[in-house]
Amino acid sequence: MERTDKNIVKKAIAPRPDDAHKGTMGALLSVCGSFGMAGAGILSGAAALRCGLGLLKCALPKSIYPIAASRLLESVFLPLEENADGKISAGALPYLLEQKADAALLGCGLSVCDDTRELITGFIRRFDKPMVLDADALNCIADDPSVLKDAKAPIIITPHPMEMARLCGTTAAEVNLDRESTARTFAARYGVIVVLKGAGTVIASPDGKARLNTTGNSGMATGGSGDVLAGMCASLLAQGKAPFDCACAAVYLHGLAGDLAAERLGKISMLPSDIIDELPNAFRACGF
């Protein structure tokens, strides 16, 4: 298995053209957040924007729109109808499928209920652009991950060990016994790129390729770090990068930014938002 390094980033990301504009740098549809979980959508959106994205479209429950809009000034918002518990209504699916986007991100802070299960399943089957599935998008399909085989475009999933265990019908301890084999097997079975998070994140593709990440530290072990990574993966995907390469680049940059944050603030005090703040320095360290 190969290891990630900064050359992976250079392979995945081309220099920004001098004549670039927002229409040429990718549009991302982010379907994230729920009442009580606004931060996940905010963190993933902010990370996506920091990775060179042209346009971010945040689709979220109406109840959390004021919170998100006050934090993501550069985003376009699509406030959606919600159920009584503040989760996105399944009735929003046709509207979401009408949106023009080059990629989608689903799951960060979405919550799991009948509405979100129907929404995620329908979106996977009908959206025809690449997508990243994180957190509750994965929990929504854990009982029947075979829906992944119905996708019309490449999918990157970004589970932590417990989410991976739910998808595989096993335990987190068993997943961690052989992380490489777990990631490779699932990727091949369901035709998706797997980013199995944790100390030594493993990125596996359906064709058998796999890479072990070499960046990151224990200061990143806090809620929200995964949302940042999901936003980064989706941002590069929306910009037209090859899915496996962009997953590897995002994981490497995420860990590198975490290392830079730890150097500046210490592992105990750093926050996921500090990882986002260090992304410009991470890109510079890779030659951009």
What is the CATH code for 2-13+22-285?
Answer: 3.40.1190.20
Distance CA 102, CA 81 (A): 24
Dihedral, 222, 224, 227, 228 alpha carbons, nearest 10: -90
How many residues in total does the chain contain? 288
Q: Please tell me the predicted confidence (pLDDT) of residue 119.
A: 98
Phi, psi of 7 (to 5 degrees): -65, -30
Distance CA 199, CA 263 (A): 18
The pLDDT tens digits for 132-145 are 999 999 999 999 99
The pLDDT tens digits for 146-173 are 999 999 999 999 999 999 999 999 999 9
Distance CA 18, CA 40 (A): 33
Q: Is this structure's pTM higher than 0.95?
A: yes
The pLDDT tens digits for 235-264 are 999 999 899 999 999 999 999 999 999 999
Distance CA 211, CA 177 (A): 17
> 113: burial class by Cβ within 10 Å (0-12, 13-18, 19+)?
middle
β strands within 126-217, DSSP E? 131-134, 155-158, 193-196, 202-204, 210-212
Q: Count Cβ neighbours within 10 Å for each residue of 145-181 and write b for 16 or more, e otherwise.
A: bebbeebeebbbbbbbbebbbbbbeeeeeebeeebee
Distance CA 40, CA 193 (A): 22
The pLDDT tens digits for 68-84 are 999 999 999 999 999 99
The pairing of strands 155-158 and 193-196 is: parallel
Contact 12, 252 (CB under 8 A): no
DSSP 25: S
Distance CA 15, CA 182 (A): 35
Q: Please tell me the predicted confidence (pLDDT) of residue 16.
A: 87
Confidence of residue 14 (pLDDT cuts 50, 70, 90): confident
Phi, psi of 2 (to 5 degrees): -75, 165
Q: Count Cβ neighbours within 10 Å for each residue of 46-69 and write b for 16 or more, e otherwise.
A: bbbbbbbbbbbbbbbbebbbebbe
- The yes-or-no verdict on residue 277 having pLDDT over 90 is yes
**Token pair belonging to 24:** 């040429």
What proportion of the chain, given as a percentage, has pLDDT over 70? 100
